[in-house]
Amino acid sequence: MQDSYPRERTNVHIWLISVIGAAFVLELVLLSPWWPGGQRLVSEMILTTSGLREGHVWALLSHGLIHENSNPFHILFVVTFLYFLGRELNPLLGGQRLLAVFLGALLTGAAAWSAIHWVHPGAHFGATAGILGLLVVLAGLVPDQHLSFFLMPFSFRLRYLVWGLIAVDVFGLALYELLGSPAPFGYSPSAHLGGMLAGWVYWRFLHARGGWDRAPAPLFRWPAWLRRRKSAPAVRSLRMNLSERAGLKSEVDRILDKINSQGFGSLTAEEKRVLDEAKDLLSRH
Query: 262 pLDDT exceeds 90?
Result: no
Q: Is residue 6 part of a domain?
A: no
Q: Is residue 184 part of a domain?
A: yes
For residues 265 and 191, membership in a common domain is answered with no
Structural contact between residues 19 and 81, judged by C-beta atoms closer than 8 angstroms: no
* Segment 259-282 mean pLDDT: 71
Q: Tell me how far apart the alpha carbons of residues 125 and 9 are, in angstroms, rounded to a whole number.
A: 30
For residues 159 and 20, membership in a common domain is answered with yes
Between 37 and 54, the higher pLDDT residue: 54
Q: Is residue 51 part of a domain?
A: yes
| Residue where a domain terminates, one of 159, 182, 206 | 206
Q: Is residue 195 part of a domain?
A: yes
pLDDT of residue 148: 64
Looking at every residue in the chain, the average pLDDT score rounds to 79
CA angle 61, 13, 66 (to 5 degrees): 35
Q: Is residue 100 part of a domain?
A: yes
Q: Is residue 160 part of a domain?
A: yes
For 45, the domain range is 12-206
With cut-offs at 50, 70 and 90, classify the pLDDT of residue 147.
Answer: low
Structural contact between residues 63 and 124, judged by C-beta atoms closer than 8 angstroms: yes
For residues 141 and 78, membership in a common domain is answered with yes
Half-sphere exposure of 260 (CA within 13 A, CB side): 6
Determine the 3-state secondary structure of 216 from DSSP. Answer: coil
Digit-coded pLDDT (tens) for 66-122: 998 888 888 998 999 999 899 989 888 888 999 999 999 999 999 999 999 888 778
Q: Is residue 183 part of a domain?
A: yes
For residues 276 and 195, membership in a common domain is answered with no
What phi and psi values does residue 236 have, to the nearest 5 degrees? Answer: -65, 125
Q: Is residue 3 part of a domain?
A: no
For residues 114 and 190, membership in a common domain is answered with yes
Query: 43 pLDDT exceeds 70?
Result: yes
Structural contact between residues 47 and 110, judged by C-beta atoms closer than 8 angstroms: yes
**Termini Cα distance of the chain:** 25
For residues 268 and 200, membership in a common domain is answered with no
Determine the 3-state secondary structure of 99 from DSSP. Answer: helix
pLDDT of residue 219: 46
Q: Tell me how far apart the alpha carbons of residues 85 and 40 are, in angstroms, rounded to a whole number.
A: 33
Query: 38 pLDDT exceeds 90?
Result: no
For residues 180 and 277, membership in a common domain is answered with no
Question: In terms of C-beta distances under 8 Å and separation of at least 24 residues, what long-range contacts does 51-56 make, across chains too?
Answer: 52/114
For residues 25 and 91, membership in a common domain is answered with yes
Query: 195 pLDDT exceeds 80?
Result: yes
Signed CA dihedral, 36, 41, 46, 50: sign only: positive
Q: Tell me how far apart the alpha carbons of residues 137 and 201 are, in angstroms, rounded to a whole number.
A: 9
| 8-state DSSP, 63 | G
With cut-offs at 50, 70 and 90, classify the pLDDT of residue 136.
Answer: very high
H or E stretch at 157? strand 155-157
Query: 243 pLDDT exceeds 90?
Result: no
The total number of structural domains that make up the chain: 2
CATH number at residue 55: 1.20.1540.10
